[in-house]
Chain A
Amino acid sequence: MKFFDLLRLVITNLNRRKARVGLTAIGVVIGTGAVVILVSLAIGLQMNANEQLYGIGDLSQIYVYPAYGGGGEVFISPRGGGGGGGGTQDIKLLTNSALQELGALPSVVAVIPREFLQANSVISYKKLQTYTGMFGVGTNDLADFGLKAEQGTTQLSRSTIVIGSRVAQNFMDFNLRPGQEPPPPPDLYDQQIQLTIFKYDDQGNEIRKNYSFRVAGVLSEAGSEADYSIYLPLEQVKVMNEWANNTRINYNKTGYNEVIVKVENPDKTLEVRDQIIALGFQANTMLDFVQGINNFYQILQVVLGGVGAIALLVAAIGIANTMAMSILERTREIGLMKAVGATNRDVLSLFLGEAAGIGFIGGLGGVLVGWLLGQMLNVVAIVYLAQQAAQQGGIPPSVAVYTPIWLPIFVLAFSTFIGMLSGLYPALRAATMIPVLALKYE
């Protein structure tokens, strides 16, 4: 029997019993609809989470730290071992030669050391103060981090600073009395900002040191820690740290505390991360974090999909029942088919086809219903979430329920398969009927 003839016969036969097929398919509609909407919801949540994470850090950046042997440090090494010689050399410091080693790795476009200001400090502008973190970076252009300037420049030089987009909002008047209206955030661009760092002598007396910097640039919103950071040249921070901690720092001996390795694109990040770990350093990326979150949402998808699948299981029992009844009613027809030369395989294909057809029709309905409900939910949820975001100052979500193209295709294939599976037993019974008994059946 030709496939097209089989298909036509299946459609004719399903058409014959519209009401029953329809009612059975409704079960499948509910099951597949549930799968579509629940999985779409999980995917939407995941996209949402990723959207919030986007800019949590540049995904093409790898944060590299010195590795202090097999001590208390958590040493993540998927490659294991660490190669020859690594065993005796316990400490792998981020010295300048190490930086060269990192820079030589394929796909690496920049290797930039970064140091925190390790001192008690206050940053002030007129009556306003803040305690924002200050970074010294080993580059004279923040564009190397992929940062852009909203105002001024990304270039760093002596006695100028570049500030993140939200730094100005963090300047506060600490002498404000309760109930008093806080002043609007100042426009700091091209303004002079005072930095005071403190240390204490042996007698416990406070010693201060004052600096004045001009804000040479305000960065565009990056959605990351950069928004809350103040950037200085590395040398500057080194001098301050030396003064505050009464030490001399020789990076060639002690190494840097942190180095940021930037790769040419995020696809290479994990590969380079592994290579850096293989060199004996500690390294992590925001991608690990994002992947952890993605794993969570993938599990959520499976769980929610499973919930929908249970509804589909109930529908499958419905299909099996409908097919069993239909085969009983059409016993003589089966006998006739066999009498006129249908093979067992033809009969099996026909009834499997009809069962699969019910699954397909139901799946089609379910995909449609699930998708429509998802879209409706989207409209409602986005409005709600946007309000929430407005109140709490987050990024408003652009999507709540998302149905990727593979989902309806998969669900449709799955429901068709489930239909076929539920029809298997009745269809096998039909196919193996003894022709003469089927023909005589009343």
Chain B
Amino acid sequence: MGGTTVRALDGVDIEIPEHTFTVVMGPSGSGKSSLLYLLGGLDRPTAGEIIVNGQRLDLMDENALALFRRKTMGFIFQSFNLVSSMSALENVAFPMQFAGITASQRNEKSKVLLTQVGLADRSDHKPSELSGGQQQRVAVARALINDPLLILADEPTGNLDSQSGTTVMQMLADLHKAGRTVLVVTHDARMTRFATHKIFLLDGRVVSEAEYQSAALQPLQP
């Protein structure tokens, strides 16, 4: 709060080609999430242009943005964001309701996706009955339900043990191999091994890998 203006992102000019696996690296507070939410049409820039698939997100109204998110985007969050009262299957199917797709079609497709993430036997389980890794896999399936052009993941492994984290990252890598465009935000350097493209952020600015590495090596300011 207060009167200070924080520039979460400043002068960022990036292009993310189709069918790439982009990893956005940066320390906490560097603006990674802000970048992801702007790209996903969940937030609006105070200035500048965001073009996804030829569409100017910064010019769209709320309704158009909602439709854009529905058709083009699949989100994966650090804290999974599953609806606690719904089963795994219902959580996967959840986005399709807003698209007005019939219940039988929703069910069918959700089952296929749950099988794909290896949770076919857990489809009736509530999130509270699933491990973190399993929950995140449900979230991955949910992100895929509307066949998105772009998959955006905000620290998808942040709440997971390293083994589950690797499983999820592998899953995202497989999606990329299957032809999807994936963007993952993380501050975990191990994740870069899957990346075809890397973006480094420091204090809301895009920097080169070299600059990023040297900054990372510097001791913390007293």
Q: Are B85 and A12 in contact (CB under 8 A)?
A: yes
Interface size on B, residues (CB 8 A): 27
Of chain B, the residue at the smallest CB distance from A437 is B43
Of chain A, the residue at the smallest CB distance from B145 is A340
Q: Are A340 and B43 in contact (CB under 8 A)?
A: no
Q: Are B42 and A339 in contact (CB under 8 A)?
A: yes
Q: Are B42 and A341 in contact (CB under 8 A)?
A: no
- The residue among A5, A333, A345 with the most chain B CB atoms within 10 A of its own CB is A5
Q: Are B81 and A436 in contact (CB under 8 A)?
A: no
Q: Are B42 and A439 in contact (CB under 8 A)?
A: yes
The answer for the CA separation of A333 and B83 in the assembled complex, in Å, is: 7
Q: Are B100 and A340 in contact (CB under 8 A)?
A: no
The answer for the CA separation of A434 and B98 in the assembled complex, in Å, is: 18
Q: Are B63 and A343 in contact (CB under 8 A)?
A: yes
Chain B residues, Cβ within 8 Å of A346: 66, 98
Contact with A along B67-98 (1 / 0, CB 8 A): 10111010101000101011000000011011
A13 at the interface (CB under 8 A from B): yes
**Could you tell me the distance in whole angstroms from the C-beta of A297 to the nearest C-beta in chain B?**
49
Chain A residues, Cβ within 8 Å of B146: 340-341
A151 at the interface (CB under 8 A from B): no
Q: Are B66 and A341 in contact (CB under 8 A)?
A: yes
Q: Select A1's contact among B62, B71, B100, B103, beta carbons within 8 Å.
A: B100
The answer for the CA separation of A5 and B101 in the assembled complex, in Å, is: 10
Judged by DSSP, the binding face of A is helix
A336 at the interface (CB under 8 A from B): yes
Q: Are B62 and A340 in contact (CB under 8 A)?
A: no
The answer for the CA separation of A29 and B105 in the assembled complex, in Å, is: 39
Chain A residues, Cβ within 8 Å of B137: none
Chain A residues, Cβ within 8 Å of B180: none
The answer for the CA separation of A337 and B77 in the assembled complex, in Å, is: 13
Q: Select A341's contact among B43, B67, B86, beta carbons within 8 Å.
A: B67
A331-353 residues at the B interface, CB under 8 angstroms: 332-333, 335-346
Of chain A, the residue at the smallest CB distance from B79 is A332
B194 at the interface (CB under 8 A from A): no
**Could you tell me the distance in whole angstroms from the C-beta of A16 to the nearest C-beta in chain B?**
5
Of chain A, the residue at the smallest CB distance from B85 is A16
Contact with B along A225-267 (1 / 0, CB 8 A): 0000000000000000000000000000000000000000000
Chain A residues, Cβ within 8 Å of B83: 333, 336
Q: Are A340 and B142 in contact (CB under 8 A)?
A: yes
Q: Are A339 and B75 in contact (CB under 8 A)?
A: yes
The answer for the CA separation of A148 and B71 in the assembled complex, in Å, is: 81
Of chain B, the residue at the smallest CB distance from A2 is B100
Q: Select A339's contact among B40, B85, B86, B97, beta carbons within 8 Å.
A: B40
A318 at the interface (CB under 8 A from B): no
B37 at the interface (CB under 8 A from A): yes
Chain B residues, Cβ within 8 Å of A436: 37, 42-43
The answer for the CA separation of A336 and B79 in the assembled complex, in Å, is: 11
Contact with B along A1-31 (1 / 0, CB 8 A): 1100100010011011000000000000000
The answer for the CA separation of A339 and B95 in the assembled complex, in Å, is: 9
Of chain A, the residue at the smallest CB distance from B82 is A336
Chain B residues, Cβ within 8 Å of A345: 63
Q: Are B100 and A434 in contact (CB under 8 A)?
A: no
The answer for the CA separation of A17 and B32 in the assembled complex, in Å, is: 36
**Could you tell me the distance in whole angstroms from the C-beta of B170 to the nearest C-beta in chain A?**
24
The answer for the CA separation of A346 and B42 in the assembled complex, in Å, is: 16
A33 at the interface (CB under 8 A from B): no
- A/B interface sample: 22 pairs, CB < 8 A: A2-B97, A2-B100, A5-B97, A5-B100, A13-B85, A332-B81, A333-B83, A335-B81, A337-B98, A338-B42, A338-B66, A338-B69, A339-B75, A340-B95, A340-B98, A341-B70, A341-B71, A343-B66, A344-B62, A344-B66, A435-B37, A436-B37
Which 5 interchain pairs have the tightest Cβ spacing? A341-B70, A340-B95, A436-B43, A435-B42, A343-B66
